[in-house]
């Protein structure tokens, strides 16, 4: 997500998964891991198939996040890059594929 008066990202985002299981898998796979020199923080949001990713590099665009998340597995249906990243998958199975 970008600042109201700035084009600089805020450092967080939301990722929506198709299923709750996929979101859980992504959390297990990504939470407290180091990515490009920064420790990633992940947690579920109110919607159970969305993933919260914190400490996203400030210079990242949506395409950078998409490439990183697609390495985990399929199923992302939307990304809200706020410098914490939110991914949404179309089904939970896709999230679980990312936790391998």
Q: How much of the chain exceeds pLDDT 90, in percent?
A: 1
The token pair that represents 98 in the structure block = 């990312």
What integer pLDDT is reported at residue 10 of this predicted model? 64
Q: Is residue 5 part of a domain?
A: no
Q: Is residue 2 part of a domain?
A: no
What's the pLDDT tens digit per position in 44-76? 766 556 677 878 887 888 888 888 888 877 778
Domain range for residue 81?
A: 12-98
Q: Is residue 1 part of a domain?
A: no
What integer pLDDT is reported at residue 94 of this predicted model? 67
Please say whether the beta carbons of 13 and 78 come within 8 A: no
The pLDDT-based confidence of 1 (bands split at 50, 70, 90) is very low
Q: Is residue 26 part of a domain?
A: yes
Phi, psi angle pair for 84, to nearest 5° = -135, 140
Q: Is residue 4 part of a domain?
A: no
- Residue 5 pLDDT more than 60? no
Q: How many domains in the chain? A: 1
């Amino acid at each position: 997500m970008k600042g109201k008066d700035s084009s600089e990202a805020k450092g967080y985002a939301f990722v929506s998964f198709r299923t709750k299981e996929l979101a859980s898998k992504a959390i297990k796979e990504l939470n407290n891991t180091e990515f490009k020199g920064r420790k990633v923080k992940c947690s579920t949001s109110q919607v159970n198939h969305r993933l919260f990713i914190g400490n996203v590099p400030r210079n990242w665009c949506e395409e950078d996040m998409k490439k990183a998340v697609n390495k985990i597995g399929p199923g992302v249906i939307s990304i809200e890059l706020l410098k914490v990243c939110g991914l949404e998958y179309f089904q939970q199975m896709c999230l679980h594929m990312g936790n391998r």
